[in-house]
Amino acid sequence: MGEDTRVLGIEGTAWAASAAVYDSATASVDIETEAYLPDSGGLHPREAAEHMAEHLPDVIERIIDHAREEYGDDPFDCVAFSRGPGLGPCLRLVGTSARAVAQRFDVPLVGVNHMVAHLEIGRHQSGFDAPVCLNASGANAHLLGYRAGRYRVLGETMDTGVGNAIDKFTRHVGWSHPGGPKVEEHAKDGEYVDLPYVVKGMDFSFSGIMSAAKQAYDDGTPVEDICCGLQETIFAMLTEVSERALALTGSEELVLGGGVGQNERLREMLSSMCEQRGTEFFAPDNRFLRDNAGMIAVLGATMFRAGQTVPIAESSIDSDFRPDAVEVTWRSAERSVARDRSEFVQGAESAVTISGDIVEKHRHERAYRHPTLDERLRRERTRGEARLLSEARRHGVATPVIWDIDTAETRLTLQHVGDDDLRDALSTVHVRTLAKQLAQLHEAGLVHGDPTIRNVRVGDCVSLIDFGLGYYSGDPEDHAMDLHVLLGSLTGTDDDADRLRSAVLDAYREAGDDSVLDQLSEIEGRGRYQ
């Protein structure tokens, strides 16, 4: 298989009946697309399938005609198609079409994960080596990073995709699809209003903000103001979790994928955050952000050169195809998300200075957030962290002692604990101790909120730090979210995550409430990409 490769790509997971041809020799991508636009409301699965059946054959024939004009009677080396995730009826039409074209031209098939294609097109065009990727599209929202032969889900929505969440509000208002551009336009004339802000580690939830936005509209709040609050809040959440993923992994590269990535305010926030961190940021052209066959063709060429083809008889689709189920054979194990192993690395929201046994933690302004939202979060988190650190310590959980708190300056002065972050001292012994500490915390009705391996210090004992996302709760689901966040940070950063995961679960089972583990299974089962 030579380096110069031409690929026919076919996309049809939900909205876009799309076909493209990619020529790696010239890096040219030609795309033909017919997008499904419902007359009212959101996506209707039956109508989407009818749209795909009507338009997909035509866009494929148009791109084949173009390829023949450019390259002759043997216009491509393989056919790449989107295997999933997506709507089953749409994907089946894509799979059937891809098999027919592959047989017609006697070329191999490559089955592509739609969400990995969103990531890889950004990596391909940017030239980044080991980026974190934020995928923000209609039905999806998650963070990915490469480790040990797979793209790991570092964080994801716990209820609905970001575009679908926005569409729920615009349908309530009575606006036609798509809702995102209408919210973006109205937000320009609006004043910021407070709405719920829900970040749990690197996971996030949109259900609360959507309910509050609809209620605000019903109560007479100007729709322009709600749109402004929606954008500022939702995109700040996505930017914050992206920064948390960068801090966890040590990566200095971020790429954006997905149709919601066309929003100027989201790109502005991500760019501002990366500039403040000294991190590189890349967003592809809009035609590669929205669903398109070009990204399928580009990744298909890479997979084809790596020998990752599938026999026609085994070319099944998978409507629940998770990105972390893909074997990434086209990348070497050495090119993982970076892990900066220096002792002190820039965090997601704080600057930390250390002098002997004293740590000064200052929550600086985050330029990407609306000033009102930024001040609220920094003050709430500073006060909340001080209370929860003291409360956890009172219940026997190892935490730093607080020497001083300056709420106005959002600054804490703390005891310096431990010799290393847990990230740099991972062992089954340490994670077992941590799991028991979490069980003890939960027994006291406390939730850490962000127990990643960057927020645990190891030395004479295992100490929990950074309670900024913590809160009081006796709900087993909230306790299970703590475990979910911890396990996600292990999966995203360590090659031996399965062994460490087992150690966490065994230790929590010994020390904690079984109902929490039951809730953990339920949470993991309802992930958007399960």
Contact residues for 232 (Cβ-Cβ < 8 A; gap 6+): 192, 265, 369, 370, 373
Calculate mean pLDDT across residues 198-226: 95
For residue 342, pLDDT over 60 is answered with no
Calculate mean pLDDT across residues 70-78: 93
Calculate mean pLDDT across residues 192-216: 95
Calculate mean pLDDT across residues 312-323: 87
Q: How confident is the model at residue 530 (pLDDT cuts 50, 70, 90)?
A: very low
Cα–Cα distance for residue pair 232/186, rounded to 1 Å: 13
Collapsing DSSP to helix, strand or coil, 506 comes out as helix
310: which DSSP letter?
B
Cα–Cα distance for residue pair 506/369, rounded to 1 Å: 40
For residue 344, pLDDT over 60 is answered with no
- % of the chain exceeding 90 in pLDDT: 78
For residue 415, pLDDT over 60 is answered with yes
Is the domain defined by 128-281 classed in CATH 3.30.420.40? yes
pTM above 0.75, yes or no: yes
Neighbours of 320 (CB within 10 A): 12
**Edge-to-edge strands, sheet with 358-362:** 351-355, 358-362, 411-415, 402-406
Calculate mean pLDDT across residues 309-329: 88
Neighbours of 113 (CB within 10 A): 26
Q: Do the first three CATH levels of 6-122+289-325 and 128-281 match, i.e. the same topology?
A: yes
CB neighbour class for 165 (10 Å; exposed up to 12, middle 13-18, buried from 19): buried
Each residue's pLDDT tens digit, 13-36: 988 999 999 999 999 999 999 988
CA-closest candidate to residue 52, choices 85, 95, 14, 10: 14
The upper half-sphere exposure of residue 207, i.e. CA atoms within 13 Å in the direction of its Cβ, equals: 4
201: which DSSP letter?
T
Cα–Cα distance for residue pair 497/172, rounded to 1 Å: 43
Calculate mean pLDDT across residues 321-347: 67
The upper half-sphere exposure of residue 212, i.e. CA atoms within 13 Å in the direction of its Cβ, equals: 18
Q: Which helix (H) or strand (E) holds 203?
A: strand 203-204
Each residue's pLDDT tens digit, 368-394: 999 999 999 999 999 999 999 999 999
Q: At what angle do helices 180-187 and 223-249 cross, to 10 degrees?
A: 110
pLDDT of residue 347: 66
Active site residues: 450
pLDDT of residue 192: 97
| Structure-token pair, residue 180 | 């995102």
Q: Are residues 413 and 483 in contact, defined by beta-carbon separation less than 8 angstroms?
A: no
Is the domain defined by 6-122+289-325 classed in CATH 3.30.420.40? yes
What DSSP string describes 93-120? HHHHHHHHHHHHHT--EEEEEHHHHHHH
Cα–Cα distance for residue pair 39/412, rounded to 1 Å: 54
Cα–Cα distance for residue pair 134/309, rounded to 1 Å: 27
List C-alpha distances in Å: 466 to 17, 111, 312, 456.
46, 42, 52, 8
Cα–Cα distance for residue pair 141/243, rounded to 1 Å: 15
CATH topology of domain 351-525: Transferase(Phosphotransferase); domain 1 (1.10.510)
Q: Tokens 């939830």 belong to which residue? A: 205
For residue 312, pLDDT over 60 is answered with yes
For residue 153, report the phi and psi dihedrals to the nearest 5 degrees: -80, 110
Each residue's pLDDT tens digit, 234-256: 999 999 999 999 998 889 999 99
For residue 528, pLDDT over 80 is answered with no
Calculate mean pLDDT across residues 508-526: 90
pLDDT of residue 42: 67
Where are the domains positioned within the chain?
6-122+289-325, 128-281, 351-525
Mean pLDDT of the chain: 91
- % of the chain exceeding 70 in pLDDT: 95
Q: How confident is the model at residue 336 (pLDDT cuts 50, 70, 90)?
A: low
